[in-house]
Amino acid sequence: MIKVHDASMDPHTAEELLKQMLDAISRIETKWGASVLACTTDTSGESRKARRLLREQLPHIVVPNCLAHQWNLIVGDLFKVKDDYGVYGDMAQELITWLRSKTRVLAILREIQMVTIGKTLAVLRAVLTRWMSHYLAYRRLLELRPALELLVTMHEAHLISGGDVRSRRKTQIAIATIKNVTFWHALARWKTLLEPISLMTNVHQAA
């Protein structure tokens, strides 16, 4: 890390970003004695324009798009397709949210895992700004499937009995999802679809 700039008070324009980019390049070349060969940003309109302006001023610098961001945009496009399998991505997110909100359920899940596999796996939540998080969250949910099915088999009545009407309804939906064989097949398909994209993202966001 060379420099972190607080841009909260700055105008969000390409010209302002260009000024910060030129300042960073100057700092690297004068203070560090290094040559800057490339500069990348995300793909917002202001960022693209700032890269174009930078190339006009410093034509020797390469200014590509951030490929890690490009791959993440592809993932976003995939989730926008609400086909027969796309709906199961939403179901997975709802199941993850329900699991992470129920400390008692998580405690029972940990006990089941310790008895059956001798270790515990955390329920992962997908976060949009973490490029690989959907793939990792879905892969982890698939790894937790045996423990989740055992959880429902052993504790379904107890799980449904607690909470208010709204809470019980969410619990019933989560249990139905865990019992849904088609859901697990769709989730495995999502994992297979996202895996090569995630691997490419990991390569492109490396140092």
Please tell me the predicted confidence (pLDDT) of residue 185.
94
Please name the residues in contact with 42: beta carbons below 8 A apart, sequence gap of 6 or more: 66, 69
Q: Write the pLDDT tens digit of every residue in 112-169.
A: 999 999 999 999 998 866 668 888 999 999 999 999 999 999 998 888 877 788 888 9
CA distance 64 to 40: 6
Compute CA distances 18 → 21, 35, 61, 62, whole Å. Answer: 5, 18, 13, 15
Q: Is the pLDDT of residue 81 over 90?
A: no
Does the pLDDT at position 26 exceed 90? yes
Structure confidence at residue 129 (pLDDT): 64
**What pLDDT does 67 receive?**
75
In this prediction the pTM is 0.70
Q: Is the pLDDT of residue 197 over 80?
A: yes
Break the chain into its structural domains and give their ranges.
14-65, 80-204
- Is residue 3 scored above 80 in pLDDT? no
Q: What is the pLDDT of residues 170-192, one digit of tens each?
A: 999 999 999 999 999 999 998 99
HEC per residue, 79-100: HHCCCCCHHHHHHHHHHHHHHH
pLDDT on residue 66: 80
pLDDT for res 160: 81
